Every structure is written in structure tokens, then in C-alpha cells.
Amino acid sequence: MLLHIPQVLTAEELQRCRAVMDTADWKDGKVTAGQQSAKAKNNLQLPLDHPEHRTLADLVLRALGRNPLFNSAVIPLRVVPPLFNRYDPGMEFRAHVDNAVRPIPGSGGMRIRTDVSSTLFLNDPEEYEGGELIIYDESGTREVKLPAGDMIVYDTTVLHSVEPVTKGSRLASFFWTQSMVRDESQRRVLFTLDQQIMDLRARLADDDPAILGLVNVYHNLMRQWCDVM
């Protein structure tokens, strides 16, 4: 899965993020990297103890909660509180794979399985050069660079990298989600089915037999495939 979700944040929410990030005291991004990733990672990160970090993370989480496309595609169970990074000229993140299991900061030791990765872009492509997110999957190499407020969602199983920034600064939020549906192919089936139901509901009454039948199939598949523990 590689899904572009537009306008996750409003203009006001982006402005709030930028107000904090433009004046923040950034730290080395290796602090949240795994052993292999740390060797490939060269960027900056908003410290977890920054006084506004929790505020911005909650802002992003609220935006996710109201976004039907994210919830349809990911079927989230738990989300690691969003993190925030910056790439200045010369910074990059060479090809790596994210850790399969990550702790949830401040949870008293809770960990999640990372099924889906998300990068939420916080400034426009015109503000920096380079910095493309590169996804390496079965269909080849794909390059992603989105407008501020847009998000890319992809399976955490794939290799990915961030190209070197050559001018300006690239700002983003990133986080991982444990889905209620572990299997990638099952998530794709449910997402396709849900989108077809939404399309039909725009043209037919909710009590139309075709819609009722497909909704029944969707929820029966959810019962078989979901893990909510």
C-alpha cells in the first residue's frame, strides 16, 4: 500500500506546527533510531521533552481521528505519538527498514507492532530542494514529495529513504500505526471494499439491498481478521 492522503491538517493547524518548529531547539534525530537505522540517519528531531511536543502530537492525532481515508486504509488500533523532524542541507536518511516493534513513550512500557508508516509533510516542496521520500517496493522505486498538510501512508515492511536536502529545510511529522488487521493483503481488501461501499452510498440509499449486503460482508470480514487486543 502506498496512499496519498491530502489535506490532513488545516491551514491553522499547519501554522501552529510551524510556529513551534521555526523556533525550536532541535536535537540529533538518531535518538529514536534503531541500531541499523542510526547508521543511516542524519537529521534533526523535535525533542520529546520540548514543552510543545505533546501539543503538536495531539494535534496530529486529532486530525487522524477525523480523517476517513486514513481510518479506512489503516484500520488503526494504536498509534505511536507523532514525532517531528527536520532535514537541513546535506542531511539525509539512507535506505532502511523501520523497527518491527516500538515503545510508546510515557506509556509505562507499552509497545506496538509497526504495521503502517506515515509521513505528514509540514512545508511545501517549493521551500526546499531534495528531501524526497523514496519507497522501494515490489513495483519498483517511487518518489514522494507532497504539499504541506498532505500525508503518505505505506506498509512498514518496505525499505525507504530520504534523499539529501540541498537547499532550505524539509519539515515533517512521522509515526507508526498498529492496525487491527495485521495482514497487508487483508487490509487492502477491506480498504477496497470500504471505498466501494462509500461510492455506492453516494448514489444509492443506505437501505439499498446492495449496500446492506456489502456492509454485511465488510463487517463479517472484520470479525474474521481483526485483532483488538
CA distance 17 to 53: 10
CA distance 157 to 172: 21
Is residue 170 marked as binding?
yes
Helices then strands (H, E): number in the chain? 6, 17
Give the CA diameter of the chain. Answer: 58
Is residue 4 marked as binding?
no
Cβ(83)–Cβ(111) under 8 Å? Answer: no
Is residue 223 marked as binding?
no
Is residue 124 marked as binding?
no
Cβ(85)–Cβ(132) under 8 Å? Answer: no
CA distance 77 to 229: 9
List binding-site positions for 2-oxoglutarate: 170
Residue list for the binding site for Fe cation: 96, 98, 160
Give binding residues as ranges: 96, 98, 160, 170
